[in-house]
Amino acid sequence: MTRKKTAGPQADPISAQDPHITYPEKDVRHIGVVAFAGNMAPAMEILHRFAAANPGIKLYLNAFLKPFARKGITVKTDAFLRTKADLLLSLGGDGTFLSVARMVRGAAIPILGVNLGRVGFLADVALGNLERILEEILRREYSYRKRMLLHVEVFNGSKRLLEDISLNDVAFTGQMGHQMLDLSVTAQGRFLTDYWVDGLLVSTPTGSTAYALSAGGPIIHPSADSLLLTPMNPTSLSVRPLILPDYMRVGVRSNLGRNMEVNMFVDGRIQFKLKPEHTVYIRKHKDGVSLVRPKGASYFESLRSKLGWTGSRRSRDAAAEAA
């Protein structure tokens, strides 16, 4: 079957003004599929049908999906997937997507998140739409949206103790879940304030709809280049979330006693025990992560559906007619 090749979907007026949105320049021929837990049979049934209908497309599975391998669908290492795949499917929830993003760091491989869990802002493709979206991808009827990453470093004097990346946030919390924190924070080398709080979040715009949203922070559009500082349960009512430009480097130190430590989590997975002699530096990473944006995808529609927003019937009808 001869497929009609296009240069990508027709850009809508808003997308055409967004420098974070780009369009594919080559065909997708090699698709990596990644999962780490859960019942993958329904998703793999769809992918088996897709592979049978498109023998020219190679599907590669990570080790967890080995039971679903068959002719034309082979298991490969993570190193192979991050260098040889044209696109990666993340099967699971947002936690799986975060793990896949860490796996491809610096490789510039776009990721399509397929939601097999509950609410998913990163893994936002419903399983029932996967087959259609894969066919659209083969016709280049999709786009990429680049998401910001955080570069996280921990120093003891001049010695670097940790280097990591974050797509959502870096969280600072007390020990045993109830210890108040006293954190000294700088922005671009200048003292900002001392936070006396239950916790502090430093988030990307992507992370503004994660932990920070639950902590009362604002929702930031993914294309707004910024860093978000969200204090959790501050002792002062005047302390509020703060949005900084993305060129700034945020520094965090603990003012607690010598025998007291602060938990630091990077995307909820990496824990580091922060002591008063440590300094954490958080800034925008030079690389980002590319998300596959299916045809017709709308960030605002995602917010309405995931968060249960409502509007008047008249407003919804007018929006539908405009689209």
- Of the residues 12, 94, 194, 317, only one is catalytic, namely 94
* 94 noted as active-site residue: yes
Rounded to whole angstroms, the Cα distance separating 318 from 323 reads: 9
| Sequence-distant (≥ 6) Cβ neighbours of residue 259 within 8 angstroms | none
Q: Are 289 and 147 in contact (CB under 8 A)?
A: yes
SS3 sequence, 64-86? HHHHHCECCEEECCHHHHHHHCC
Give the burial string for 137-160 (b: 16+ CB within 10 Å, else e).
Answer: bbbbbbbbbbbbbbbbebbeeeee
The partner residues of 290 in beta bridges, in order of sequence, read 146
Residue 315 CB burial class (10 angstroms; 0-12, 13-18, ≥19) = exposed
**How many CA atoms are closer than 13 Å to the CA of 278, on its beta-carbon side?**
22
Rounded to whole angstroms, the Cα distance separating 260 from 276 reads: 8
Identity of residue 288? G
Rounded to whole angstroms, the Cα distance separating 239 from 217 reads: 12
Q: What is the DSSP letter of 237?
A: T
Question: Three-class SS of residue 211?
Answer: helix
Identity of residue 244? L
Q: Are 241 and 260 in contact (CB under 8 A)?
A: no
Residue 49 to residues 53, 147, 250, Cα–Cα distance (Å): 6, 31, 48
> Active-site positions?
94
